[in-house]
């Protein structure tokens, strides 16, 4: 169905030894003269960690920035929900951490499917992020002596995670948001809330603007600039149920993809092991319980199938602490993909607990015994409260019940070392790009990446783009803007014109089921083939039966959701196709045909040590697959082992 | 989880097509609501029912649905975010209601928060209060090492208590004067307790309060309704700190 070409995607990775590459790159980048910066206009789409940090930093440098977001305030971006923490190689604990170790852990955690140079740079700037956030007033946890505190996260043997109780994402986002608000009051950044980017405007091959729908009055608006930054987050909601905020979507990325930006590794999705299990068909989202809980919580199921006793009545000898049993070195702290599959394995084998039997226990009794309930409350109080609000159960008294859920998407728009997509002038930051996490992301690394991209990378690389291209002046009056706007408007009109009988939620749930069953925690060729047909049928069903009431020229949430679902229905097919083409298991992508005897993921480095970057060829032609070969010169490709 | 009885409810919901139109309450019957549902999931079910009947769904703001983004928020039977202490609308579950209940659902009511549609209001005034000084003026790349300035752990904890504000606006909705003092105080108090906030401490308090007033929020008359309604349980003691910050700043400003 697709044609594969071995292209040399130019990733613009600098030559020379890894530790010197970023410095070398920065030294060679062209600069924009201070008083010329104000002649450039940059459009930032999204105000999460990536977008807010980029917009604020560019404003500080003197560029004019317009930042659009679907939210009513930049502070509400999905980044706000991150709980556990942010990694940085500070080695404040004197436990042997270093840039090198964070780099190696991230490469290994990603199952050797990420670009060495990008990951090294991420580790290199990680310390600056903490410094920056502290200076902004982010209230990171402190030791009694006043120094910064750390906790341990999965996939690491050092303690390098910085945190603000269970609200790290909130505090980091509020830090970036405050920097952004400072630039708004300085007049350098204009924030336009409740605007949804519906298309990208490409002029002479360069990204020069966006088409947005004003969500309050439904009017189409266009914004022209010299560069566009997409910071629009991940596409986990293609599964309908996920831990993502309801507004997370693929629309901006997908629309840019259709205009020429390659989509890389769409099949790489992360299933988080510690979420509150599904309990009813009215359910609208899943709730994550931070991975940090695995520091003190022990995961188990009864040794006996269908054991009916209350968990507290099941004695030690009748419990199977299966992570500790299978992975003695990392135990409960194995990476997420490993922990998730192990839970699924136990439940599929009939050992699951709870009313649906699709859950395992996360037990704090030993930690409470050793450290006292107060200590546990201090560390995770808000998580226990949240658990109780949702389930009506007290996690201090009885083990929590958890099950894996869709959480993060490693795939995203392909970017080079400058974070530029295959469309010149279109840069992609944060979860929306594919860059640093390979086939699996380690905990506490998304916040790090979003802020690295926005604070410390993009201010340099965008400047280079602006200084090295001779960009013609382009305004909203350029015919391309009108043309693109008409495209976007006609899509909206065609959704409204259907006036069928099925609701967005109904169809989205159905898509979610297909994706979860066939393209979720484990995948096989037969299921993926079936998914391709089912997705296509469902897409046709959507365009025949969708029922959206009201007008396009008003505040109309149902219309917004329908537009996003329409894009998910196109994107889902590419995701399944990518999963089908990747005939190996790697990180979060587990193909049942490719596993070791012990049921661990089995990579095929000979044939699949590459990034799969897909090029859109029109609605009626298959995508073209481009492969960026991944060169490992500094770490050895080995089989991941957490035993 | 214990199997609870399903609920049959009457919902009295504020409907208003846009800022310029007059709104009104409309009653809807909803049957067999599971007590395990969240309040917003219950509204989802209502909206599915309305779509089927050919009536436009009720607009309401929401996003994270886990109590942290501050997007959701409606007044439920006269109480912002409903009856549960320290709980956002999205975290409120239907097990807190009884079969046969009449539930009145309205938007935040405050002149500084104009209605956008139905239960959705415009809270941009909060962003403008932050723009007036709710930040530390540090540019990207200027920061010293994170451990260069020690912060005693109680100060950090105090700052974190204030910084936990989710910016939902329930404090304004709860206040008879529609004052946003708790919101403003949370930000001032967060930064006042950290050494990083010190240099701009005075002007921050003065400017943020000035903007608060300009935006049309009312004065604080210490009724503490805000604290009772706050889902993040921000204490009114932060307002006391704001008042101290403000008076100190006024005194020195006069000199
Ligand atoms: C529950 C949860 C907990 C997590 N905990 C952690 C953690 O502890 N540590 C960690 O490192 N990571 C964590 N993550 C992952 C991390 O939070 C995200 O990957 C990261 O915050 C994404 O940031 P972002 O800036 O790329 O995107 P987002 O924060 O998702 O921001 C996207 C922005 O784009 C805007 N937008 C989207 N579409 C459009 C459009 N079409 N037009 C205009 N604007 C648009 C939105 O309004 C928003 O402003 C967690 C994730 C979840 C779901
Ligand atoms: S939806 Fe985020 S706080 Fe309720």
Summarised one tens digit per residue, pLDDT across range A392-428 is: 999 999 999 999 999 999 999 999 999 999 999 999 9
Q: What pLDDT, on the 0 to 100 scale, is given for residue A379?
A: 82
Closest chain B CA to residue A136: B136
A336 belongs to the catalytic site: yes
Write down the pLDDT at residue B120.
98
Which residue in A324, A311, A316 sits closest to A359, CA to CA? A311
CB atoms within 10 A of CB A393: 16
Give the model confidence (pLDDT) of A514-541 as tens digits: 999 999 999 999 999 999 999 999 999 9
Taking only residues 230 to 269 of chain A, the set having a beta carbon closer than 8 angstroms to any beta carbon of chain B reads 245-247
**What count of other Cβ atoms lies within 10 Å of the Cβ of residue A2?**
17
pLDDT tens-digit map of A108-144: 999 999 999 999 999 999 999 999 999 999 999 999 9
List, for chain B, all residue ranges whose pLDDT scores fall below the cut of 70. Answer: 1-4, 254-255
Q: Does A94 touch chain B (CB under 8 A)?
A: no
Average pLDDT rounded to a whole number, residues A27-48: 97
**B56–A550 CB contact, under 8 Å:** yes
| Nearest CA-CA partner of A322 in A296, A351, A293, A295 | A351
Q: For chain A, list the domains and their CATH numbers.
A: 273-407 (3.90.700.10), 479-599+613-626 (1.20.58.100)
Q: How far apart are the first and last CA of chain A?
A: 39
Identify the pLDDT of residue A156. Answer: 87
Query: Are A134 and B143 a contacting pair at CB < 8 A?
Result: yes
CA B89 – ligand 2 centroid, Å: 7
In terms of CA atoms, which chain B residue is nearest residue A560? Answer: B59
Summarised one tens digit per residue, pLDDT across range B103-135 is: 999 999 999 999 999 999 999 999 999 999 999
* Residue in A208, A336, A489, A577 annotated catalytic: A336
- How distant, in Å, are the alpha carbons of A165, A171, B155, B164, B243 from that of B159? 12, 11, 6, 9, 16
Pocket test for ligand 1, best of A76, A81, A169, A426 (most atoms within 8 A of CB): A169
Q: Do A389 and B87 touch (CB under 8 A)?
A: yes
pLDDT digits (tens, 9 = 90+) for B209-229: 999 999 999 999 999 999 999
Among A78, A220, A256, say which to mutate for ligand 1: greatest number of ligand atoms within 8 Å of CB. Answer: A78
Task: Say if the Cβ atoms of B123 and A73 lie within 8 Å.
Answer: yes
Beta carbons within 8 Å of B117's beta carbon, 6+ residues apart:
A554, A555, B16, B17, B18, B19, B59
The CA distances from residue A330 to A131, A155, A157, A294, A333, in Å, are 30, 8, 8, 11, 5
Distance CA A57, CA A176 (A): 9
pLDDT, position B1: 43
Alpha-carbon gap, residue B24 to B12, rounded angstroms: 10
Cβ–ligand 1 distance for A176 under 6 Å, the answer: no
Q: What residues 182-221 of chain B have any CB closer than 8 A to a CB of chain A? A: 190-191, 194, 196-197
Average pLDDT, stretch A63-79? 98
Segments making up each domain of chain B, as ranges? 7-116, 123-137+151-254
Q: What confidence score (pLDDT) does residue A8 get?
A: 63
Closest to A53 measured CA to CA, from A456, A434, A425: A456
pLDDT in tens, A288-324: 988 889 889 999 999 999 999 999 999 999 999 999 9
d(CA A382, CA A400): 14
pLDDT tens for residues A576-599?
Answer: 999 999 999 999 999 999 999 888
The pLDDT of residue B2 is 47
Name chain A contacts of B204, Cβ cutoff 8 Å: none
* Nearest-CB residue to A287 (from B66, B137, B138): B66
The Cα–Cα gap between B208 and B215 comes to 11
Q: What is the DSSP code (8-state) at residue A205?
A: T
Question: What's A269's DSSP letter?
Answer: E
DSSP structure string for A471-522: PPP--TTSHHHHHHHHHHHHHHHHHHHH--SB-HHHHHHHHHHHHHHHHSSS
Distance from CA of A365 to the nearest CA of B (A): 20
Ligand 1 centre from A248 Cα, in Å?
Answer: 8
Residue of B nearest to A180 (CA): B131
Q: If one looks up domain B123-137+151-254 in CATH, what number appears?
A: 1.10.1060.10
User: Is residue A85 within 6 Å of ligand 1 at its C-beta?
Assistant: yes
Lowest mean pLDDT among A114-118, A246-250, A251-255, A331-335: A331-335
Q: For the domain made up of B7-116, give the CATH fold.
A: Ubiquitin-like (UB roll) (3.10.20)
Ligand 2 contact via B65 beta carbon (within 6 Å): yes
Q: Cα angle at A584 between A578 and A588, to 5 degrees?
A: 70
Using CB atoms within 10 Å of the CB of residue A121, give its burial: 0 to 12 exposed, 13 to 18 middle, 19+ buried: buried
The rounded distance, in Å, linking the Cα atoms of A227 and B64 is: 30
Measured from the Cβ of residue A1, the count of other Cβ atoms closer than 10 Å reads 10
Does ligand 2 have an atom closer than 6 angstroms to the CB of B88? yes
Give the ipTM: 0.98
**C-alpha torsion sign, points B178, B46, A245, A418:** negative
Nearest by CB: B1 against A193, A287, A391? A391
Q: What residues pair up with A228 in beta bridges, in sequence order?
A: A43, A426
Q: B71, A184: Cβ pair inside 8 Å? A: no
Tell me the residue ranges of DSSP E strands in B108-153.
Answer: 115-117, 120-121
Query: What is the model's pTM?
Result: 0.97
């Amino acid at each position: 169905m697709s044609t594969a070409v071995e292209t040399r995607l130019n990733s613009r990775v600098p030559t020379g030894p890894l530790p010197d590459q970023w410095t070398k790159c920065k030294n060679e980048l062209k600069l924009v003269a201070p008083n010329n910066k104000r002649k450039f206009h940059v459009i930032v789409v999204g105000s999460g960690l990536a977008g807010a940090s980029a917009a604020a930093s560019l404003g500080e440098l003197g560029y004019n920035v317009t930042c659009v977001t679907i939210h009513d305030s930049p502070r509400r971006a999905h980044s706000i929900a991150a709980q556990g923490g942010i990694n940085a190689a500070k080695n404040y604990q004197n436990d042997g951490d270093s840039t090198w170790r964070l780099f190696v852990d991230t490469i290994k955690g990603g199952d050797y499917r990420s670009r060495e140079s990008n990951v090294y740079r991420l580790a290199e700037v990680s310390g600056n992020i903490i410094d920056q956030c502290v200076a902004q007033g982010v209230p990171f946890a402190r030791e009694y002596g006043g120094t910064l505190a750390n906790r341990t996260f999965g996939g690491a043997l050092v303690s390098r995670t910085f945190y603000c109780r269970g609200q790290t994402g909130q505090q980091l986002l509020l830090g970036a948001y405050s920097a952004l608000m400072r630039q708004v009051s300085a007049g350098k950044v204009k924030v336009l809330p409740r605007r949804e980017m519906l298309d990208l405007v490409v002029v002479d091959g360069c990204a020069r603007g966006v088409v947005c729908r004003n969500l309050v009055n439904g009017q189409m608006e266009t914004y022209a600039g010299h560069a566009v930054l997409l910071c629009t987050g991940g596409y986990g909601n293609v599964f309908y149920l996920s831990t993502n905020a309801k507004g997370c979507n693929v629309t901006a990325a997908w629309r840019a993809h259709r205009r020429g930006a390659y989509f890389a590794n769409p099949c790489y999705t992360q299933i988080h092991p510690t979420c509150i299990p599904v309990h009813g068909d009215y359910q609208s989202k899943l709730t994550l319980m931070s991975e940090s809980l695995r520091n003190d919580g022990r995961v188990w199921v009864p040794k006996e199938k269908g054991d009916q006793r209350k968990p507290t009545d099941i004695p030690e000898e009748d419990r199977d602490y299966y992570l500790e049993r299978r992975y003695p070195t990392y135990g409960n702290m194995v990476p997420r993909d490993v922990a998730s599959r192990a839970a699924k394995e136990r439940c599929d084998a009939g050992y699951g607990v709870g009313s649906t039997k699709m859950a395992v226990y996360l037990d704090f009794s030993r930690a409470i015994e050793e450290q006292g309930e107060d200590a546990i409350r201090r560390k995770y109080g808000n998580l226990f409260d949240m658990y109780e609000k949702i389930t009506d159960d007290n996690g201090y008294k009885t083990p929590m019940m958890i099950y894996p859920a869709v959480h993060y998407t490693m795939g995203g728009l392909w970017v080079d070392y400058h974070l530029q997509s295959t469309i010149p002038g279109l840069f992609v930051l944060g979860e929306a790009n594919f860059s640093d996490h390979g086939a699996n992301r380690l905990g506490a690394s998304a916040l790090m990446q979003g802020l690295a991209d926005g604070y410390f990378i993009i201010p340099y690389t965008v400047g280079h783009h602006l200084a090295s291209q001779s960009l013609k002046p382009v305004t909203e009056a350029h015919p391309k803007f009108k043309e693109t706007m008409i495209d976007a408007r006609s899509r909206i009109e065609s959704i409204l014109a259907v006036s069928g009988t099925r609701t967005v939620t109904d169809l989205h749930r159905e898509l979610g089921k297909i994706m979860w069953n066939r393209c979720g925690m484990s995948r096989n060729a037969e299921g993926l083939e079936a998914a391709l047909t089912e997705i296509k049928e469902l897409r046709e069903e959507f365009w025949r039966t969708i029922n959206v009431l009201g007008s396009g020229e008003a505040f109309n949430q149902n219309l917004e959701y329908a537009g996003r679902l329409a894009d998910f229905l196109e994107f889902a097919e590419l995701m399944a196709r990518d999963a089908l083409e990747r005939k190996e298991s790697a990180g979060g992508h587990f193909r049942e045909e490719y596993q070791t005897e012990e049921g661990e993921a089995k990579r095929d480095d000979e044939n699949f040590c590459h990034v799969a970057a897909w090029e859109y060829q029109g609605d009626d032609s298959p995508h073209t697959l481009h492969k960026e070969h991944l060169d490992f010169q500094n770490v050895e490709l080995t089989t991941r082992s957490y035993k | 989880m214990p199997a609870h009885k399903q609920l049959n409810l009457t919902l009295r919901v504020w409907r208003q097509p846009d800022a310029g139109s007059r709104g009104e309450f409309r009653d809807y019957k909803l049957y067999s609501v599971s007590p395990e549902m969240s309040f917003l999931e219950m509204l989802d079910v209502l909206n599915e029912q309305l779509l089927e009947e050919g009536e436009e769904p009720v607009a309401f703001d929401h996003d994270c649905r886990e109590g942290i983004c501050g997007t959701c928020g409606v007044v439920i039977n006269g109480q912002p975010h409903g009856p549960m202490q320290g709980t956002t609308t999205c975290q409120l579950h239907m097990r807190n209601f009884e079969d046969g209940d009449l539930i009145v659902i309205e938007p935040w009511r405050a002149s500084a928060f104009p209605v956008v549609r139905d239960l959705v209001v415009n809270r941009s005034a909060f962003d403008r209060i932050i723009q007036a000084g709710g930040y530390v003026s540090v540019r990207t790349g200027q920061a010293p090492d994170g451990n260069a300035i020690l912060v005693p752990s109680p100060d950090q904890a105090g700052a974190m208590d204030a910084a936990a504000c989710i910016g939902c606006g329930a404090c304004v909705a709860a206040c008879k004067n529609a004052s946003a003092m708790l919101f403003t105080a949370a930000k001032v108090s967060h930064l006042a307790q950290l050494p990083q906030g010190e240099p701009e401490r005075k002007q921050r308090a003065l400017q943020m309060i000035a903007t608060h007033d300009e935006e049309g929020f009312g004065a604080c008359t210490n009724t503490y309704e805000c604290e009772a309604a706050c889902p993040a349980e921000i204490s009114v003691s932060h307002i006391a700190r704001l008042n101290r910050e403000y008076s100190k700043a006024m005194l020195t400003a006069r000199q």
